[in-house]
Amino acid sequence: MSTQDTLASLASSLLDGSIKVVDCTAPLGPDTPLLKLPPELADDTPKIEIHEISKYGDRGPFWAWNWLKLGEHSGTHYDAPHHWITGKDFPDGSVDTIAPQNFVAPANVIDCTKESAADPDFLLTPEHIKAWEAEHGEIKEGEWVLMRTDWDQYNTDPDKFLNADETGPHTPGPNAEAIIYLMEEKKALGWGTQCIGTDAGAAGGFEIPFPAHNLLHKHNRYGLASLTNLSALPAKGAILVTAPLKIVNGTGSPIRALALVPTT
Ligand code: 23J
Ligand code: MN
């Protein structure tokens, strides 16, 4: 099939619904859960604010519009290499300089729902990933790897979403070796999760602090956080559209994450 035929086939499949568009995005507003870091370590991202400029009234008769106060790393969002010190020198490492070809890519969805429900500190390892590949097929260069935990079910309850106690947050994520495997051996495009960040809740205390951030961005690769609806995606076969806003020198951006999913 020619590439023109491929696109024509995609067009008709989108129109007849045999490829559906799944929204993998959480609502973005004042109630969106945000990352909390220990105050001695860092400032936090501010609460999201949506302010009315005008609404069909005296200040503009025919239109409504708002202005936002919004951290780059809020809600369902994209982490660019410049987010981390290990990726700071890549000339194409901010959201406005990343090649757009990277914003549309196949997704591998690793189901970790049982493990994460049994242990909120669950860490995905290279052994888990290799067992998943043996069952579903290899992860290929340039593809996303997404950790499905169904953590989006807690999105409306920030306490449950962050799951913190006196020892800190407890949410699942990858161990350092898993990210090393995905970057060095698989040459993956990046790593995405349904939790507040690409790293596990406890990752600030790991041997390499925040290994997903450290290692993804060191390889000029990308992260996705607070993804939703991964339960509607196949293990393989979906195409993920994840375009960050073109914020000048931006280290990340909220996205509307969309998955193209075959229904037949
Ligand atoms: C800064 C420091 C630690 C983390 C994060 C940001 C994120 O999760 C993020 O949004 O990139 S863990
Ligand atoms: Mn982020």
* C-beta of 197 in contact with ligand 1 (< 6 A): yes
Q: Which pLDDT does position 91 carry in this prediction?
A: 98
pLDDT in the model for residue 169: 97
With the most atoms of ligand 1 within 8 angstroms of its CB, the residue from 28, 43, 73 to mutate is 73
* Other beta carbons within 10 Å of 164: 14
Question: How many angstroms is it from 133 CA to the middle of ligand 1?
Answer: 28
Q: What is the pLDDT of residue 38?
A: 84
Amino acid at 217: H
pLDDT at 203: 97
Distance CA(105)–CA(39), nearest Å, equals 37
How far, in Å, from the CA of 197 to the mean position of ligand 1?
6
227 CA → ligand 2 middle, Å:
12
Whose Cα sits closest to atom 12 in ligand 1?
197
Q: Separation of 75 CA from ligand 1 center, angstroms?
A: 12
Return d(Cα 186, Cα 239) in angstroms, integer.
18
**Nearest bound ligand to the CA of residue 199:** 1
Residue 39 has a pLDDT of 82
- What are the C-alpha distances in Å from 193 to residues 11, 19, 31, 42, 229? 29, 23, 20, 22, 11
pLDDT confidence of residue 153: 98
Q: Which atom of ligand 1 is closest in space to residue 79's alpha carbon?
A: 11
Q: Report the atom number in ligand 1 closest to the C-alpha of 77.
A: 10
Residues of the chain under the 50 pLDDT cut = none
pLDDT one-digit tens code per residue, 45-64: 999 999 999 999 999 999 99
Rounded to whole angstroms, the Cα distance separating 173 from 125 reads 9
pLDDT in tens, 144-198: 999 999 999 999 999 999 999 999 999 999 999 999 999 999 999 999 999 999 9
Question: What's the CA gap between 148 and 157, in Å, rounded?
Answer: 19
Return the ligand 1 atom nearest residue 198 CA: 8
Task: Find out whether 98 and 79 touch, Cβ atoms under 8 Å.
Answer: no
User: Which of 1-37 are b and which e, b meaning 16 or more Cβ less than 10 Å from the residue's Cβ?
Assistant: eeeeeeeeeeeebeeeeebeebebbbebeeebbbbee
The CB of 73 under 6 Å from ligand 1? The reply is yes
What residues act catalytically?
A: 83
Which pTM was predicted?
0.98
Pocket of ligand 1 contains residue 143 by CB under 6 Å:
no
Q: Is 79 in the pocket of ligand 1 (CB under 6 A)?
A: yes
Nearest C-alpha to atom 8 of ligand 1 is from which residue?
197
Ligand 1: distance of its center to the CA of 28 in Å?
Answer: 17
